[in-house]
Structure 1
Amino acid sequence: MSASFEALGLNENIVQAISDLGFSEPTPIQSQAIPVLLSGTTDFVGLAQTGTGKTAAFGLPLLQLMNAADKFPQALIVCPTRELCLQITNDLMDFMKHSKGIMSEAVYGGASIMMQIRNLKRGVQIVVATPGRLIDLIERKAIDLQKVKYVVLDEADEMLNMGFRDDIDFVLKNTVNRESIWLFSATMPPEVRAIAKNFMENPKEITVGKKNSGNVNIDHQFYVSPAHSRYETLKRLIDFNPGMYGIIFTRTKADAQDISERLSKSGYEIEALHGDLTQQQRDRVMARFRTKALQLLIATDVAARGIDVDGITHVINYELPDDMEVYTHRSGRTGRAGKTGICLSICHSRETYKIRSLEKMVNSQFHKLDIPSGKDVCRKQFFHFMDKLISTDISHGDYETYLPDLMTKFENVSKEEVLQRVAALEFDHFLKYYENAEDLNAKDSSRNRERFDGNKDDSSRKERTSFNRKDNGYTRLFINLGTKDGFYKASFLQFILDESSLKKEVLGKIDMRDMNTWVEVDHSSAASMIKAIDGKRYNNRTVRMNEADGGFKRPSDEQRGNREVGGQRRESGERRRTFAPRDRK
């Protein structure tokens, strides 16, 4: 083995364990962090993406600092999820293979707390814990943190995103005799910086790559699709990437479940991971995914936190996240341990500003690609199958026994016809499905084409601020209801969908104000929504909906009559002022 790990100051037993695992050289975060952490007395902040070897960066020096003779917790590792807790514990077990007398215990929710308490009482040096279960053990006085010397906060930004700030503060206040805090994070939001400021003393900070940046091994791609074609775009991208082993991210668990069911009915090996699953169900899904019995996993951000699976080739953003830093965590599921990966995002043309922000944040160019046509998909699947056919191993079967019968069976069939029949047998369903497939590519406005051709001018910025939009596949509608009518975004969304009987997929951006709201609706559904909602009554008020650049829509005969305006009665013959929104500067 190379002397690289030895040169970092690790002892012979740990170096041997690393060698047994097949590692010869430390990763950048390991080579920079380990010498600092071996001192044991320096507070430390390490910023690096997931999949860069952070567990070994803190796990190896932690093992070397442990005193095997002391049978009480000397080190505490806090992480956001059960999956990450178990992963860290398993990695530590591999690292301590030749280090006798050192024990670790994973404590997390969803498992028997009494069993965990019994294991702790036997004597362990390292405790790996999720915040909730750790607080429970502290309150039960089942764990003594008074002698803990080292506290590791792994995936600190994830824990704060999940609402564990108070729990982290509580833990740090109860480890009063610690010698150092080691904080590892993929990003450095203000909340993480606050922990460093409040609890750490002159921490040594190391950043691998650009701060808050993404993994350089990931190819970032995005596809612009109309809202109503988002699912079909997803399906086409999956079909265009045969052999994909990936995770699809959605904003809501309802979307995750719906898409999972639709793809399953179409024959895809996929399951959903969301908050409604029991721990047993979640474990079953993850076990199938890790063994590649599932090709795809679809999950919400909350449900997917802490997932660490080797070999993921693709991450797909069914929708771009609202929080840009979430993108870093999503994309970090692929391109791990030096391997390459692809992160695909399906977005609407109105979201291209998010793409520009993401490019700056991850310090990487995003590639805009056309959604494959039906013929492209069939061609890609066909050649993938042929490559598999040619590379199939036939050395381990007694196939020669059957050759005479095969030769007789096919003596009057040409080679070309055999190939055609094989192709028809394998691809008949693809050809039928895609033979009349429509073009799913959104028709970009000129400003979006200019932006990604590198020729954007200043006039596009003015155009982007206009309220009177009918481009990008959406019609912008005005409605005289707002937050003062008791609405917030979710309730307003439910109201217009219930009244119009339309699906959520036809909606774009919703811009709510005190007295009114602007709603983007797919062109094909705008007229139906206006017809369903305009003239309705809500809280003794007549609801008005019209195109944002179309002025006031004259009411129908049924809608004429007396109406309330600002608490006063107005006769139907009285002229009403046009109330269409104007461009605002």
Structure 2
Amino acid sequence: MITFEALGLDETLVKATSALGFEHPTPIQEKAIPVLLSGTKDLIGLAQTGTGKTAAFSLPLLQLINPNQKYPQALIVCPTRELCLQIVHEIELFKKFKQQIQVVAVYGGSSIGLQIRDLKKGVHIVVATPGRLIDLIERKAIQLDQISYVVLDEADEMLNMGFKDDIEFILENTPKRESTWLFSATMPPEIKRVSKKYMHEPFEITVGKVNTANKNIDHQYYVVNAHHKYEALKRLIDFNPGIYGIIFTRTKADAQTISEKLTRDGYDIDALHGDLSQQQRDKVMGEFREKSLQLLVATDVAARGIDVKEITHVINYDLPDDTEVYTHRSGRTGRAGSTGICMSLVHTKEIYKIRSIEKLVQSPFHKLELPSGKDVCRKQFYAFMDKLLQTDVSDDRYATYVPMLREKFADITKEEVLTRIAALEFDRFLKYYENAEDLNVREARRDKRDNQTRNTNFSEKSRSRNYEKSNHAANSDTTRLFINLGSKDGFYKASFLQFILDMSELKKDVLGRIDLREMNSWIEIEKKSASKMIKALDGKNYRGRKIRMNEAN
């Protein structure tokens, strides 16, 4: 197998990778590093999250930087604070034997004064989120006129989050860059347009098939009725005693509600959504990384840029509306060669979505039955026995108490002791699950629906065509809303849907057709929910622009 040295990296960087235990480069590193070391070639690297992209661009940058020139020579732009800090952390590890190279992270939610002070000390590599970087440019607190290398990491995520104009502004303010390196998990049209405008004959690398899921992930789905959804979620959590994962919901309101309910039910869990301050977000993420929290409930927007190792499970409480988002969710687990599980709770009418996602990620989905109450108790019991047997009792401190224990339990048999331990540990579980109902949607009840399910996708398309033929005529229970936001504001359909749902805290069920245009959009919505949406959005600001929303009629 090829080594890092064979890729052309200098001795200090090879030594650093060895110190970290990296013996051989990943596919994206093997293909990208030799190209990037030239320093003059634009590159587009397409690879899923967790494939080693950070090292693929960080190692060449560390070799190309001139430490004697005390000004920013490389700029790395990424979508979120978490990813920004993660990249800086990894670069610090790689430059173990190049300590003279200075790296600074600049991002929102933290003191801009302190960041300006760090920049003034003299830096070589700046890692930034778009908003904070532009703020610094406009304050003339950072000089980008000597930047030679620009890296756009998670480019598709930045475009999905509405940073298209910001990215173009940043590229226009780095006129002397020798090369632009763009890394992305997907290749939407927006990225093609940006690359065509700002890159010169970029070298393209694709690792695996674009949009395919990690083969180390087991994709599972469970068919459940809507009114049993929360109970099904609890049952899946209880059936996996060692679970350490993320639960994805469609809206921030759902994330908060589920988090509060699970907390009341005794689970170590918290929510991550757009209403949290940066301080609150940092606290939640810190507790999750330290495993003080077993689970995190998050929306797609809030979870972007999270990179936490050893996540065992991802649970889709709601399937995403955009099938491409599924690959980003599932990619949170099964990293660095480990295996992971992605579970989805679906309604019978959503089976067609599973088939669509299955085609997209090119990986089979397994339909499983929700465990019974007895199954859950049995699984918890076995896990407890394993934990009991693996407990370390080598510490001499316990020796002092052993004679007391022998005396206390002298008249009690070993079987009685074990029974009492089991009762103490499992009383809550046994009471809760003793008469638990079957949550599975039984086949007999689904016979009539099966034929409908097979053709749901076709029916959806037919309904869409009929809708257009009827000139978008809304029924008597719905109305149409106008909003002065569109694709020019950086939205695509799924991100726009997420935005209006997050702002209004309404359920997707109240919405009908969304007609996203360049400058504005039209939304079909239940009449009883229209006023709530208008109140939530009309007059608010989006990226410095006042939102106008009213009934289209």
- Shift of residue 195 of structure 1? 1.4
Partner SS for 1:483: strand
- Shift of residue 215 of structure 1? 1.2
Change (3 A) 1:39 1:462: closer
Q: Which residue of 2 aligns with 1:302?
A: 301
Q: Which residue of 1 aligns with 2:288?
A: 289
Q: Which residue of 2 aligns with 1:138?
A: 137
Deviation above 4 Å: which 4+ runs of structure 1?
447-451, 459-467, 484-487, 507-514
Change (3 A) 1:131 1:408: same
Instruction: Give the alignment of 1:196-215 within 5 angstroms.
Output: 196-215=195-214
For 1:243, give the aligned amino acid: G
- Work out the CA distance in 1 between the residues paired with 2:183 and 2:114: 29
- Work out the CA distance in 2 between the residues paired with 1:36 and 1:462: 45
- Work out the CA distance in 2 between the residues paired with 1:203 and 1:63: 21
- Work out the CA distance in 2 between the residues paired with 1:298 and 1:30: 33
Change (3 A) 1:509 1:105: same
Q: Which residue of 1 aligns with 2:392?
A: 393
Instruction: Give the alignment of 1:439-458 within 5 angstroms.
Output: 439-444=438-443, 445-446=446-447
CA distances 1:105-159 after superposition (whole Å, capped 9, x unpaired): 1011111112111211221111100000111111111111111111000000110
Number of positions where the alignment pairs a residue of Structure 1 with one of Structure 2: 495
Change (3 A) 1:116 1:208: same
- Work out the CA distance in 2 between the residues paired with 1:504 and 1:167: 29
- Shift of residue 509 of structure 1? 8.0
* 8 A contact 1:483–1:512 mirrored in 2: no
What TM-score results when the alignment is normalised by the length of structure 1? Answer: 0.79
For 1:49, give the aligned amino acid: Q
Q: Which runs of 5+ in 1 are unaligned?
A: 468-477, 495-502, 520-532, 540-585
Q: Which residue of 2 aligns with 1:552?
A: none
- Shift of residue 414 of structure 1? 2.5
Change (3 A) 1:447 1:131: farther
- Work out the CA distance in 1 between the residues paired with 2:415 and 2:189: 65
Q: Which residue of 2 aligns with 1:312?
A: 311
Please tell me whether residue 60 in structure 1 is matched to residue 56 in structure 2. Answer: no
- Shift of residue 479 of structure 1? 6.3
Stretch deviating more after TM superposition (18-27 or 297-306): 18-27
For 2:128, give the aligned amino acid: A
Instruction: Give the alignment of 1:83-102 within 5 angstroms.
Output: 83-102=82-101
* 8 A contact 2:217–2:341 mirrored in 1: yes
- Shift of residue 442 of structure 1? 2.0
- Shift of residue 513 of structure 1? 10
- Work out the CA distance in 2 between the residues paired with 1:76 and 1:439: 55
* 8 A contact 1:210–1:363 mirrored in 2: no
For 1:336, give the aligned amino acid: R
- Work out the CA distance in 1 between the residues paired with 2:70 and 2:513: 59
Q: Which residue of 1 aligns with 2:152?
A: 153
* 8 A contact 1:314–1:341 mirrored in 2: yes
For 1:46, give the aligned amino acid: G
Q: Which residue of 2 aligns with 1:218?
A: 217
Please tell me whether residue 337 in structure 1 is matched to residue 369 in structure 2. Answer: no
- Work out the CA distance in 1 between the residues paired with 2:456 and 2:276: 46
- Work out the CA distance in 2 between the residues paired with 1:512 and 1:144: 46
Q: Which residue of 2 aligns with 1:32?
A: 31
Partner SS for 1:312: coil
What TM-score results when the alignment is normalised by the length of structure 2? Answer: 0.83
CA distances 1:221-251 after superposition (whole Å, capped 9, x unpaired): 1111111111111111111110111111111
- Work out the CA distance in 1 between the residues paired with 2:113 and 2:514: 52
* 8 A contact 1:157–1:189 mirrored in 2: yes
For 2:227, give the aligned amino acid: H
- Shift of residue 511 of structure 1? 4.5
Change (3 A) 1:509 1:225: farther
Change (3 A) 1:446 1:166: same
Please tell me whether residue 482 in structure 1 is matched to residue 481 in structure 2. Answer: no
Q: Which residue of 1 aligns with 2:437?
A: 438
For 2:164, give the aligned amino acid: R
Change (3 A) 1:233 1:39: same
Partner SS for 1:382: helix
- Work out the CA distance in 2 between the residues paired with 1:124 and 1:269: 41
Higher share of residues assigned helix: 2
Q: Which residue of 2 aligns with 1:256?
A: 255
* 8 A contact 2:77–2:151 mirrored in 1: yes
Change (3 A) 1:90 1:512: closer
* 8 A contact 2:478–2:525 mirrored in 1: no
Instruction: Give the alignment of 1:510-549 within 5 angstroms.
Output: 511=512
- Work out the CA distance in 2 between the residues paired with 1:461 and 1:90: 45
- Work out the CA distance in 1 between the residues paired with 2:480 and 2:286: 49
CA distances 1:56-80 after superposition (whole Å, capped 9, x unpaired): 0100001100001111111100000
Change (3 A) 1:485 1:69: closer
Partner SS for 2:248: strand
Change (3 A) 1:512 1:51: closer
Please tell me whether residue 19 in structure 1 is matched to residue 15 in structure 2. Answer: no
Identity %, equivalent residues: 65
Instruction: Give the alignment of 1:353-368 within 5 angstroms.
Output: 353-368=352-367
* 8 A contact 2:349–2:456 mirrored in 1: no
CA distances 1:284-334 after superposition (whole Å, capped 9, x unpaired): 111111110110111111111111111111111110011111111111111
Q: Which residue of 1 aligns with 2:348?
A: 349
Q: Which residue of 1 aligns with 2:265?
A: 266
| Higher gyration radius (CA) | 1
For 1:181, give the aligned amino acid: T
* 8 A contact 1:46–1:185 mirrored in 2: yes
Change (3 A) 1:465 1:371: farther
For 1:310, give the aligned amino acid: K
Q: Which runs of 5+ in 2 are unaligned?
A: 464-473, 484-495, 516-523, 532-553
Change (3 A) 1:466 1:45: closer
Q: CA RMSD in A?
A: 3.1
- Work out the CA distance in 1 between the residues paired with 2:23 and 2:345: 39
* 8 A contact 1:482–1:513 mirrored in 2: no
CA distances 1:396-438 after superposition (whole Å, capped 9, x unpaired): 2443433333333333323222222111110000010111111
Change (3 A) 1:68 1:327: same
- Work out the CA distance in 1 between the residues paired with 2:52 and 2:361: 19
For 1:381, give the aligned amino acid: Q
* 8 A contact 2:65–2:124 mirrored in 1: yes
Q: Which residue of 2 aligns with 1:106?
A: 105
